[in-house]
Structure 1
Amino acid sequence: MAPLAAWYRDAARDLPWRRDEFHEEFGAWGTLVSEFMLQQTPVARVIPHLEAWLSRWPTPRALAEATPAEVVQQWANLGYPRRALWLHRAAIEITDRHDGVVPRDVEPLLLLSGIGDYTARAVAVFAYGDRHPVVDTNTRRVLARAVLGQAQPGSPSRRDLDLMDSLLPTGDAESTVFNAAAMELGATVCTSRSPRCEICPLIDDCAWVAAGRPDTGDTRRRQAAFEGSDRQARGAVLRVLRAAAPDPVLLQGVLPDWPDPLQRDRAIDSLIADGLAEADGETLSLPR
């Protein structure tokens, strides 16, 4: 996979979190915020929200001083708003436990709210330049095709990290580039449904191409349709609360014309359970 780094230097997208000036200004905190926002959200939607977020809260300590309501409101339409509360809690933990500095090592990162193995490794690698395998969905697809000869990766497992680790260059800087390049290739060239093999830097070494690009089946779990879903109802309720903030809204005035009243009530109950909304008698508001 030697040609990957050279391809990345020429073809990588110009994204804010890859710029030197971004790291100089926001450091590991900027990387952490970007990783939270990028979970299950397209890059194009994240960029304006990331810039607005870091302009308002440029450090963990600044975010820790915000209220949950301010955090949820700023998250706006990024989706999966529980991530906003997790990020807020992580900022408080970083402030209290690490004197406002995002930790460098994977283990203390994993102890922060909302941070799993991928995010912890991504911060350690892309913010601090340490050598760790970083594997997301795009990387797993590149590994499945180029190394294993499969059209789609199987279920995530420790084997993905072990395989990536075996391919990483020994140097810290080179391994950081390799991690980023594998993700970029999966996101822009080795895509799930329409891979552009003709421009892939790994075409001469790809096990899947050498095998004739066999269809090994798509084992990924399909995401349920958004239209008409409980997720759509939750988002609609949050929009009402954000528009009214900081004032509460009468419960009977929250989506009174929603086509499925039971679904609306489920959405409200689940938002309260997740800490994204608060009920007080006959009113509903963002968390205080």
Structure 2
Amino acid sequence: MDQVSPALLHQRIIGWFDVQARDLPWRGPARTPWSVLVSEFMLQQTPVVRVLPVFSEWLSRWPTPADLAAAPSGDAVRQWGRLGYPRRALRLHAAAGAVVEHHNGEVPDTVGELLTLPGVGTYTAAAVAAFAFGKRETVVDTNIRRVHARLLGGEALPAPALTAAEMRRAADLLPDDDSQSVLWNAAVMELGALVCTARAPKCSQCPVLESCAWVAAGRPEPRYVPKGQAWAGTDRQVRGAMMGVLRDAAVPVVRELMVSGPVELLPGPAATLTPLMKLHGLKAPREQLERSLEGLLRDGLARDTPAGITLPG
């Protein structure tokens, strides 16, 4: 920090962003606080390219919090599709209800009030306050952490978990002007997403290459090996396949079909058979199937009715 002028970093990174920023709907002039909140829920651990079509359909169907709050939570889970981590859909539905009940249907504009909404944590509250309302807030996501770690810390990757020192550094870097602070947050985030990527950074395209401490240090290797989340064979994979069955089913699905039964016994349209075949094609043991189904029921992502298993009502 002492060797790099924050003003110079602001100028170059924001200047780069002015030219290179992607045209994303939650950034455009037609954005609303609600659309920004929806985007932040969807973008958690999910790439932009997967979010864009679901985001567009979601806002077309539920353009305001009141529209979503009036719909059954199961509709939100079904509309979430294959974005993953479907509990986010339930939390977003609950957040819409809280906005209607406690904020007259308008997304609140302060971090303190945003933090009272279901599913909204420190990062999301700061991001919505900044990007929806133009507030000067310290926004720190994975991309921003990585840019800061390399540019200022000389490290290939940030620490495995967010630290207080990282938050202080981000706060120290934030421009004093509200509008510039919003641009800075968005610009550094975009730089991390497009140029200063985790696995193959495009250093030659970086607007602050000559100021980068990591490059100056010879691009040292990370101090640790990031552990990717396992997928194949996990309960997460089984739960995802089960959610696919429930999303596509026109009628409740007999519990036994979910945990062991042959798909030929399923009543209803053939469209439901393919997800069931995919589920049982995983060859998960019955114990895992039952455990995964109980997890969906416990999390409120599925409902056990006399007729069978369905999405929540």
TM range, smaller chain = over 0.9
Shift of the alpha carbon at 1:229?
1.7
Query: In structure 1, which of residues 123, 132, 143 is the aligned counterpart of residue 128 of structure 2?
Result: 123
Give secondary structure in 1 for the equivalent of 2:209.
coil
RMSD: 1.3
User: 1:279 aligned to 304, 309, 313, which one?
Assistant: 304
How many residues in Structure 1 have an aligned counterpart in Structure 2?
A: 282
Matched to 2:298, the amino acid is: A
SS at match of 1:152: coil
Displacement of 1:220 in angstroms is: 3.4
Report matched runs for 1:101-140 at 5 Å: 101-140=106-145
Matched-pair identity in %: 49
2:253–2:308: 8 Å Cα contact kept in structure 1? yes
Between 204-213 and 49-58, report the one with greater CA deviation. 204-213
User: Is 1:188–2:194 an aligned residue pair?
Assistant: yes
Look up the match of 1:148. 153
Q: How does 1:10-159 map to 2 (within 5 A)?
A: 10-21=19-30, 23=31, 27-154=32-159, 155-159=161-165
Q: Quick check: 1:227 aligned with 2:236? A: no
Q: Which residue of 1 aligns with 2:271?
A: none
Per the TM alignment, residue 281 of structure 1 is displaced from its structure 2 partner at its CA by: 4.1
Please tell me whether the aligned partners of residues 152 and 216 of structure 1 are also in contact (alpha carbons under 8 angstroms).
yes
Which runs of no fewer than 5 residues in structure 1 stay unpaired?
none
How far apart are the structure 2 equivalents of 1:62 and 1:281? 30
Output the CA distance in 1 between the equivalents of 2:38 and 2:216.
40
2-structure distance, mates of 1:178, 1:218: 29
Larger radius of gyration: 2
TM-score (norm 2): 0.87
Does the 8 Å contact 1:110/1:116 carry over to 2? yes
Q: For structure 1, which segment, 4-13 or 247-256, has the greater mean C-alpha deviation from structure 2 after superposition?
A: 247-256
Query: SS of the residue aligned with 2:210?
Result: coil
SS at match of 2:154: coil
* Residue identity matched to 1:4: I
Given that 2:252 and 2:307 are in contact with CA atoms closer than 8 Å, whether structure 1 keeps it comes out as no
Residue 239 of structure 1: aligned partner: 244
**Alignment deviations for residues 74-132 of structure 1 (CA, whole Å, 9 cap, x no partner):** 11111100000000000000000000000000011111100111100000000000101
Could you tell me whether the CA contact under 8 Å between 1:89 and 1:113 is conserved in 2?
Answer: yes
Alpha-carbon offset, residue 235 of structure 1 = 1.2
**TM value normalised by structure 1:** 0.95
**1:20-57 CA distance string (max 9 Å, x none):** 12x2xxx1000000000001111001001001001100
Q: Which runs of 5+ in 2 are unaligned?
A: 1-8, 263-279
Instruction: State the distance in 1 between where 2:177 and 2:225 align.
Output: 34
- What's 2:253 paired with? 249
1:198 aligns with 2:207: no
Q: Which moved more, 1:156-165 or 1:170-179?
A: 156-165
Query: Are positions 1:267 and 2:292 aligned together?
Result: yes
TM-superposed CA distance for 1:165, in Å, is 1.2
